[in-house]
Structures are given as structure tokens and as C-alpha cells.
Structure 1
Amino acid sequence: MDNFLIQVTGKKRVALYSPRDAPYLYLSGTKSEVLNVDNPDLDKYPLFVKARCYECNLEAGDVLFIPALWFHNVIAEEFGVGVNVFWKNLPSQCYDKTDTYGNKDPTAASRAVQILDRALKTLDELPEEYRDFYARRMVLRIQEKAFSTKLD
């Protein structure tokens, strides 16, 4: 969900990454495996250098708008209190009704990921050369249908 991060006291540094940088963030579920964005393990996460970081510093009284789908890493520079205010901007039927805090993907996205997982599992029935070929075809189809611009 969209989010306002309100810094009441103390200081925080926030690193933000566009949803378009998802291919470089080593996603595991809804989180990045790269926890130390200041000193990432580039042997383990070599594509992370391609992710464009937008960084800001928050002090008491500052408010930061974090759009839905933007990955963020928040580092407390000193003890403080922050408040997050989330809101839903999609029609209510798009959200999981049991998701109080907005941590789950919209229901259609969750279903699509489940379908993709089943399709990939089905490809496991094929020999490696065939599996590779059809998986690449699936990726191309997704890129053609879902992306408005080509990924680098």
C-alpha cells in the first residue's frame, strides 16, 4: 500500500528502489535478500549495482511518501519514533481481507504467482534442454504482455 513515513523524533536514513529495479534486488517474497544496501555482498548479489537508489534523511517533523511497490531500507541514525500511515488505493476487492497491515500482495498478483509456480513445476517434467527452451518462451511472453518498457 501507499505509505507516509512520519518521523516524530530522532533521525533515519531511507534508501528507496523503484519497482522497475526489482530484477536487481534479489527478491524473496516481498523482500530483498540484500540487507546491507551500503555494503552489499557483490559476489552473492552482482546485479545489485544496477539498482538505482534514491536516498533521503529524515529528521523530526519530516514526512516521506513511499509509493506502493517501492522497496525501501530504513536505517535509524539515532533513537527515534516514526509512524507509518498506510492506505489502500486499489478497489477493496483487490486486497486480501485478512491482511490488516497491507503486507500481502493483491489477490490477483498472488494467484498469478501461484499459477506461475505450478507452470514451472510442470516444466520440471521435461528434459533440461526443453525446460530451458519453454521457460525462456514464458519469460519472453511475460515481457511482451506485462512490461511497457524493456528491462535492461
Structure 2
Amino acid sequence: MDNLLAQVSGTKRVVLFSPQDALHLYLSGDKSEVLDVDHPDLQRFPDFVRAGRHECELQPGDLLFIPALWFHNTLALQFGVGVNVFWRHLPADSYDRKDPYGNKDPQAAARALQALDRGLHALEELPADYRDFYGRRMIQRIQQRAFSKGFRETGFM
């Protein structure tokens, strides 16, 4: 969900990463496996350096809007109090009712990821060269139907 972070007291550093950098963040569910964004283990996470980092320092009284899908990492620079206010902007039935903070994937995205996992599991039944061929076809279909035009033009995949 969209999030408004209000820094009441103390100071906090916030590092943000755009949703377009998701492929470089080593995602596991709604979290990045890269826990130390200042000193990432580049042996384990070599593509992390390709993620565009946006950083700010919040002082008492500052408000920071964190849009849905933006990954963020916070570090308290002083003891303080911060308050998050979340709100939903998709239709109510898009969200998991048991997820008050909107950290879970929207229902349609969760179903799509489950279908992809089933498809990838099915590919494991094929010989390696067939897996490669049909895996590439799956990637092509995803690029054609899911990604924005600008992403496809970058030639990333």
C-alpha cells in the first residue's frame, strides 16, 4: 500500500528503491534478501549494484511519501519516533483481508505468481534444451504482456 512516514522525533535515514529495480533486489516474497544496503555481499548479490538508490534523512516534523511497490530500508540515526500511515488505492477485494499493512501481494498477483511456479515446475519434467527453449518462450510472453514499453526497450531481458 501507499505509505506516509511521519518522523515525530529523532532522525532516520531512508533508502528507497524503485519497483523498476525489483530484478536487482533479490526478492523473497515482499522482502529483499539484501539486508545491509550499505555493505551488500556482492558475492551473493552481484546485481544489487545495478539498483538505483534514492536516499534521504528525515528530521522531526518531516513527512515522506513512499508509494506502493517501492522497497525501502530505514536506519535510526538517533532514538526517535516515526509513524506510518498506510492506505489502499486498489479495489478492496484486491487485498488479502488478513494483511492490514498491504505487505502481501495483491490477490491477482499472488495467483499469477502461483501459476508461474506451477509452470516452472512443469518445465522441470523436460530435458535441459527443451526447458531452455520453453523457458525463453515464457519470458518472451511475459515481456510482451506484462512489462511497460520502456522496460522492453532497454533490452534488459
TM-score (norm 2): 0.94
CA distance in 2, matches of 1:137, 1:75: 42
CA distance in 1, matches of 2:145, 2:36: 34
Alpha-carbon RMSD: 0.9
- Provide, for residues 22-67 of structure 1, a one-character-per-residue CA deviation record: whole Å limited to 9, x for no partner: 0111111111111111111111111111100010000111110000
How far apart are 1:99 and its partner, in Å? 1.5
Q: Is it true that 1:86 corresponds to 2:70 in the alignment?
A: no
**Which residue does the alignment assign to 1:45?**
45
CA distance in 1, matches of 2:98, 2:54: 32
CA distance in 2, matches of 1:95, 1:127: 39
CA distance in 2, matches of 1:85, 1:35: 24
Amino acid at match of 2:56: C
Provide the secondary structure at the position in 2 that maps to 1:5: strand
Q: Is it true that 1:34 corresponds to 2:34 in the alignment?
A: yes
Question: For structure 1, which runs of at least 5 residues remain unmatched after alignment?
Answer: none
Amino acid at match of 2:129: E
How far apart are 1:145 and its partner, in Å? 0.9
How far apart are 1:107 and its partner, in Å? 0.2
How far apart are 1:78 and its partner, in Å? 1.2
Amino acid at match of 2:99: D
Q: Which moved more, 1:64-73 or 1:136-145?
A: 136-145
**Which residue does the alignment assign to 1:101?**
101
CA distance in 1, matches of 2:89, 2:98: 17
Amino acid at match of 2:5: L
Amino acid at match of 2:94: C
Provide the secondary structure at the position in 2 that maps to 1:79: coil
CA distance in 1, matches of 2:96, 2:73: 25
Amino acid at match of 2:80: G
**Which residue does the alignment assign to 1:14?**
14
CA distance in 1, matches of 2:47, 2:102: 28
TM-score (norm 1): 0.97
- Provide, for residues 77-126 of structure 1, a one-character-per-residue CA deviation record: whole Å limited to 9, x for no partner: 11111100000001111111221221111000000000000010111111
CA distance in 2, matches of 1:101, 1:68: 11
Provide the secondary structure at the position in 1 that maps to 2:78: coil
Provide the secondary structure at the position in 2 that maps to 1:135: helix
Q: What pairs up with 1:124-135 in 2 under 5 angstroms? A: 124-135=124-135
Identity %: 64
